[in-house]
Amino acid sequence: MPVGKNRFPLLDVWGGPKERGRQIGAAFGERIAQTLSIYKAYFARPDEAILPVAAHFRGVIDSFNPQYSAEIEGVAEGAEVDPLWIYALNARSELLAALSASECTVVHYSGTPFVGQNWDWSEKLEDLVVLIRSEDERGRRFLTMTEPGILAKVGLNDAGFCVCLNFLPTPKQTNGLPSHVLLRALLDAGSWAEVEETIERAGTGRSLNLLVASADGRSINIEYEGDAARRIEAGGSATTHTNHYLTCDAPVDAELLENSTARLDRIRALTASGTPRDLARLKSVLSDQEHPEHAILAPYKDSDGFLGRKGTVCTIAMDLSQRLMHIRRGNDPDNPFHQFPVMEKETALSM
């Protein structure tokens, strides 16, 4: 399946964790190098300041589950990169926790299998985003949209679970299990008991809003603020979140708060009781551009305190009952959604 300008490349990987990592690194080596170049600029610190922090996260990840550190080491080997830089990529949210930048509008229609989000971030990443469909030695499978070199981001698995996220800024210490590794671990869950056990073992030490939903319509939503973790009850019609804390009065940059609040107000209005609650409606609300300055589907534009332009890199709508991801590249509402099933497998990289 060739990839046109409106598609992201899809890679199927299988085998043990290190072998899957090698496959990812070998296939996406150039993209990983470009992603590293972008984040080195965002970190804005010399290598000798970043690499010891990356070594700390290597220890945290290995203690949590050595399979994930093995996969990261495999990515580094396949891409011919110092493994510490791949650990730094996987901890990029923790390294940038104090950054003032909006990132994502999330929606789950309560009691349904329909969940999705916009991922708002750097324009530079649109040309680098990848889809990875992974199968482990047990035959368990997941599909994720992610940045090259990062184990997972938004995705769903063969058991009907999905993960979504919102970046939340905090000045507090974020030295726990990296957010993206937690997302990857949750994509390995086959039951709600495994989801809860993973969340319990992961502890705190990150800044993130985490949404986990399942094909049976249930969900959990947790705001992490450094050493705190607070759960939010599911909404009556829909659970929605943007990029400011709803459970506390944590300080947020004024520009970010204005943008995040405007998007939250709009998505709540669009998903209010009495509105349609299906996959087509989910795609529609995530395509909303009514607000002239703070659209849900955001065009790329410069932002104070952020390197380069940011906007909606992609839109994802998932039907968990069918184990399907629908994804649209960029922020043009006329671009098509492309559909990817968790359960198919291709033997070559779809470029």
Which whole number is the average pLDDT over 153-162? 99
The residue behind tokens 């795609």 is 283
Residue 181 has pLDDT above 80, yes or no: yes
What whole-number distance in Å separates Cα of residue 211 and Cα of residue 286? 16
Which whole number is the average pLDDT over 217-244? 98
- Extract the tokens encoding 66: 């050595």
Of 3.60.60.10, 3.40.50.720, 3.90.25.10, 3.40.50.620, which CATH number belongs to 97-341? 3.60.60.10
For the chain, the domains span 97-341
What whole-number distance in Å separates Cα of residue 22 and Cα of residue 77? 6
pLDDT at 195: 99
Q: Please return the burial class of 48, using the count of CB atoms within 10 Å of its CB with bins 0-12, 13-18 and 19+.
A: exposed
Residue 113 has pLDDT above 70, yes or no: yes
Residue 332 has pLDDT above 50, yes or no: yes
Please give the residue that has the higher pLDDT: either 344 or 140. 140
Residue 39 has pLDDT above 80, yes or no: yes
What whole-number distance in Å separates Cα of residue 244 and Cα of residue 259? 10
List the one residue out of 2, 31, 8, 1 whose CA is nearest residue 328: 8
pLDDT at 235: 96
In this prediction, residue 308 has a pLDDT band, given cuts at 50, 70 and 90, of: confident
Rounded alpha-carbon distances, angstroms, from residue 138 to 11, 158, 296: 19, 12, 39
pLDDT in tens, 66-107: 999 999 999 999 999 999 999 999 999 999 987 766 669 999
